[in-house]
Amino acid sequence: GINIKEIPIQDYYALFSVVFQDYQLIGFNLGEQITSSDTFDEEKVLQILSEVQFNHKMENLQKGLATSMLKYFDDQGIELSGGENQKLAIARALYKQSKILIMDEPTSTLDPLAEHDIFTKFQSMTNNKLSILISHRLSFTAFCNKIYVLENGTIIEGGNHNELMINQKRYYELYMTQIHYYEEKENE
C-alpha cells in the first residue's frame, strides 16, 4: 500500500541483496570483499563463509580474511576458481542481511556436490528472507516453497515441486528432460 516513489532510495536499496549471474569481485581483501567495508564483524564473516562452504579454502589462506583478492593492488593477491568466486558472491549477499534476496543462476559455476551442499543449507542461510531464485537448472527446485515457470515473459505455471509434477505440464516436461539427460549419461 506504499507508493515505491515515497520510499527513500537508500531504504529501498537496503531491502535487497542480489547475486547476479555475472557478478564482479573487487580487488579488496577477503573480509572487505564480503562486507564492502574495512571494519566488519570477523566472526560473522567466518560463519557466512562456512555456510557457503568456503571454510576449506580459508584454512589454506595464510592471511585469512586479510588475504588480498585479485592482483590489482597486491602482487600476492589470489585468483579463485569460478565456483569459489560464486561462493563469495553468495556470502556477500548473505552478509548484507537484507529482507529480500534475489539470486540469478547462483550456483552455475559450482560442481554438483557443492551446489547440493549450499541448497541443503539454503533455508537456514536465508531464514526470514523473501528469496527469489532464477535458474534454468531444476535440480534444486524441491527446496523451493513456490515455483513459477516463465515462458516468453509470462508466468505459465505455479506451485510447489510436487504440485507441478502432478500437473504434468511444462515444468514436468522440463524437469523430466533434465532428469533423463542425467540418466542417459549414467547409462553410457
Q: What is the pLDDT of residues 67-96, one digit of tens each?
A: 999 888 888 889 998 889 989 999 999 999
Collapsed DSSP state (helix, strand, coil) of residue 116: helix
What's the pLDDT at 127?
79
CA 147 to the chain's CA centroid: 17
Give yes or no for a contact between 44 and 95, defined as CB atoms under 8 angstroms apart. yes
* Positions in the chain short of pLDDT 50: none
- State the Cα–Cα distance between residues 34 and 151, nearest whole angstrom: 35
End-to-end CA, the chain: 56
What's the pLDDT at 182?
60
- State the Cα–Cα distance between residues 47 and 160, nearest whole angstrom: 30
Phi and psi torsions of 155, nearest 5°: -75, 120
What's the pLDDT at 34?
95
Cβ-based burial of 30 (10 A; exposed 0-12, middle 13-18, buried ≥19): buried
Chain position carrying cell 569459489: 84
Collapsed DSSP state (helix, strand, coil) of residue 80: coil
pTM of the model: 0.82
